[in-house]
Chain A
Amino acid sequence: MDKQQLLERLLDAYDGNIDALSRDARSLRAGRDRATARVRDDIPDVSSRPVVVKVESVSKRYKLGKTIVDALTEVSLEVHQGEMVALIGASGSGKSTLLQLIGGLDSPTSGTITVDGANLGKMSDAKLSRYRGQKIGFVFQSFYLQPFLNVRDNIEVPAMFARTKRTARHEHARSLSEAVGLSDRLRHYGKELSGGQIQRAAIARAMINQPTLLLADEPTGNLDRTNAEAIFDLFAQVRREYGSTVIVVTHDEDLAARMDRTIRLSDGRVVL
């Protein structure tokens, strides 16, 4: 076999592998599409909806001891109403920082963040608190339920800060607990619940004030696969039932793939 023949054989084999990989990729995409179809089937085209979150050239720099850390650099993005977006990236890529900036828990070093038409940089501390209470629902990786309050009271905590009347918030907590499958656990305390149940309670807590935007920071980080998928199903349900926009920080690309859109961050920058 001369060199030319050998080269042609290698190229055929390569093409075959490429075809096989392409098939595999197609198959995976099809599988993913099947899995996420449940999420997206209600809102086929969110891009036509108004922009809820607009991040423009946002940078965040902070000191870590004597080191200056550029957590975010010139990040710009838009999220539409009702859209489900996953922020993915390696640890330290700036995804949690971006989520916290959108949630008004911190302020950018430069750039502007507009949520529902309001520029967060121009809000006072008290207004930011109100913004967080009324427009934002936070879900944390560590749940943070008050151990000495039962599920119902835990769900109602943000409503207490919003001065919602007791009867109204009881009713809302009850319907939310039904939605997250905890209606029979309202009198229970955190230590009597599983990790998945606690996170569902935390999601119900985040939704008690019917926020425009649900922000979740590694919400499945402490959960097993089954519970993690159930939580993502819950996000889809929330979007479907309440029309909320959902931004989830995760490092789980499979779960991220179930969202409408994935935004990848690397070294504080959005990468395509």
Chain B
Amino acid sequence: MMRLTDAMMLAYTKLRTRKIRLFFALLTASLLFSVLVAGSLIVSGALTSLESFSKEGFSNRYIVAGMYQTSTNNDSVLLKPELIARAEQLEKADIAAKKAAAKKLNIPYDDAAIPSDSRAVFNDFKGDKSINTASKFGLQAIEEAQSADPNKSTLEKFKKQVGAANHFYTGVTRAPFRIDSPALTLIKDGEEKRNTDGSMGAGGFGMGGGSSAGLKTVTSEWSLLDKELLQPFVLKGQTLDVGSDGSLPIVTTYTAAQEVLKLPKLSADASAKDKKARLEQVRSQIAGKTFQVCYRNATSSADLQNAIQQQDDLKRNTGKAGYEKPRLVYAPSSTPCGAPVIVSDTRSSEEKTYQQRQDQFDRQFGKVDAASQLVTFRIVGVTQDSPFSSGSSGGGMFNASEAVSMLTISTLGVRWVSPLSVEAQSVPAQDVFKRLSANIFGFSQEGYFAEYSDAPTARTVLSTKTCRSPYGDPAAEGASKVPICSANGSSFMLQPFGSASLAIDEFKHGFRTAQLWAALVIAVFASIILIGVIGRIIADARKETAVFRATGATRLMIAQIYLVYTLYLVVLIVLVSLALGFGAALALNSAHSANAGINMALLFNVEDLSKPFLFYHLELYDLGLIAAAVLVAAIVGASVPIAGNIQRNPIRDMRDE
């Protein structure tokens, strides 16, 4: 080996040959690596900033959420002969009881009048039977079967699955469907705005929701969470207790908060300054603001629907020949959330007596009295609409802050949340969140949460104790890394919750893997380019190499000169890549940092709205990885021509002149 300084001097002369070819080769390789640099800087920057914001929200808490998963195919549940038989048996008993009661009350009852879509069991055209989940008896049969399931979703089962944790919490979402579903209707401008979007709730804790985040979504997306999980989102001066006026505390979405304050929607291209001012305004004004919804139980809801229908019929048919006005006519109450009022009653005494007997019959077979109530919600906190919502920003082609939000399942994951404690103090809450025993279509109302003291423990639990969803993954139940999925298929799917810490941690792991693959792919392309340019440089210098060999250079020394030359290229590529990558990251930062900072402040309930969100951060690991990738590419790119060169006969190269 020759002295390094001498090798550097001789290698440096190579940089001065084939300048144009070298320039374009270096530029191409640098551009390739600059993609890696920019990606690493931006993602590292976003993650670092995200972590920094996250620490102020959930105080760096490591929480794992568990959603009950049924691995049993619902179709097979609905086709189970024993359940079908049980549903038919229940229905048959009910019909028999009703017939007896009807006879006793002297009212007619004909089970043939039961609509087919209300029967306990469907019969298809082939004669095959399946349980009707819209039927009380179909559901009851499933409930009975599942309540016997030893792995039924309970906090105890969750604890058993995840092992010891610092704290356990619970949350509840609305039922996806039930026969006696209550209805919530937003009261707006003193009127009951009928909700027509059904009663389907959000997908569950941490699952995100739809794109709309307005005030009306409270009627379908109201959820309950343990107080401890809500606390970080509570605004100053607010408490999570039910108010002395009966108002229920709720954490709302940012969009809904603006709606409550009657603030005009900011345009999609509003400046960061405007957004910041809006956030400050919302935070200072929203605390303690109230809004109302009307709660109606299933009976009240049906009564109101009947009254509305009657009024519509009257409007359409009054004056028409042959139209006979109903003898008992209802109309919706002029009082918000009031019971429908009788506007005319021309029934005979016999008809009234008959109706009394019919009501007695209905009550005997489960019909509850109509109940409705105004529910006042008191806004105690605000959170980002949803990490997956585009409604907040007006939906541009690309919104960096939303992209960053999507890096992680952050914040509460659900949009309207009250503390779990309100359930005991509010009849409407008790009805809305009434648990279904039957677990249909994989939906679970209850979610459980385990909090750990450190990220590694939580990550281990997440990776080793989760039960992957069996849907679309036939191997999930058999995979060795999924030890908990029980034979009868009930278990919990685990995912990070609340604090972005775990999600960021998980994302980091994924990002590192992707980064390594990207580095490898880019290194392969770069090495191909470098083989070309280094090969050309070496070929051009064959006579020089021959002279060096004639004047005492060993093969190793020749290789050393070209390896040092390669290192020069590495340094140049790294420097240019860093410059280009930093340029790209700074450009992105300049364009989106301010907006992202505001969005993150909202997302993590950060008080300091001037806290910066940076899209660049250089970690030594990233720098090392990029340098290593360039080095590997260059060494591979150089080794092929070097190996060929040192094997050459110097005499032949000199003869070629």
Contact = CB atoms under 8 A, between A and B. Distances in A.
Contacts of B557: 129, 161
A132 B557 CA distance: 14
Interface in A119-146: 125-126, 129-130, 132-134, 136, 138, 140, 142, 144, 146
Interface stretch (A43-51, A76-84, A98-106, A108-116): A98-106
B192 to A, nearest CB: 88
A59 interface: no
Contacts of A126: 554, 556
A157 interface: yes
Contact of A161 (B5, B12, B552): B552
Contacts of A146: 10, 13, 544
Contact of A133 (B12, B551, B650): B551
A209 interface: yes
A138 B551 CA distance: 7
Nearest to B551: A158
Contacts of B552: 129-130, 132-134, 158, 161-162, 209
A129 B553 contact: yes
A134 to B, nearest CB: 7
Interface residues of B, number: 28
A126 B555 CA distance: 8
Nearest to A141: B657
A95 to B, nearest CB: 14
B164 to A, nearest CB: 66
B547 A148 contact: no
Contacts of A130: 552, 554
A140 to B, nearest CB: 7
B2 interface: yes
Interface residues of A, number: 31
Contacts of A125: 554-555
Interface in B520-553: 543-544, 547-553
Interface string B14-32: 0011000000000000000
B16 A161 contact: no
A54 interface: no
A260 interface: no
Contact of A132 (B2, B12, B549): B549
A258 interface: no
A133 B552 CA distance: 4
Contact of A149 (B13, B553, B651, B657): B13
B550 to A, nearest CB: 5
B105 interface: no
B550 A105 contact: yes
A141 B16 CA distance: 25
B551 A205 contact: yes
Contacts of B544: 144, 146
Nearest to A215: B550
B262 interface: no
A160 interface: yes
A206 B551 CA distance: 8
A107 B568 CA distance: 36
A147 B540 CA distance: 13
Residue of B6, B13, B650 with most chain A CB atoms under a 10 A cut-off: B6
A163 B543 contact: no
B9 interface: yes
B591 interface: no
Nearest to B654: A140
Nearest to A162: B552
B320 interface: no
Contacts of A205: 551
Interface string A221-261: 00000000000000000000000000000000000000000
Given A100-B651, A160-B2, A148 B549 contact: no
B549 A157 contact: no
Given A129-B553, A130-B552, A161-B552, A144 B6 contact: no
B104 to A, nearest CB: 115
Contacts of A138: 547, 550-551
Contacts of B236: none
B550 A160 contact: no
Contacts of B126: none
B316 interface: no
19 contacts: A105-B651, A106-B651, A129-B554, A132-B549, A132-B552, A133-B553, A138-B547, A142-B543, A142-B657, A144-B547, A146-B544, A147-B13, A148-B16, A149-B10, A158-B551, A160-B9, A161-B2, A161-B557, A209-B552
Q: What 8 pairs between A and B have smallest CB-CB spacing?
A: A133-B552, A148-B13, A160-B6, A161-B552, A158-B551, A129-B554, A144-B547, A161-B553
Given A125-B555, A130-B552, A140-B654, 8 more contacts: A126-B556, A132-B549, A133-B551, A144-B544, A147-B13, A149-B13, A158-B552, A161-B551
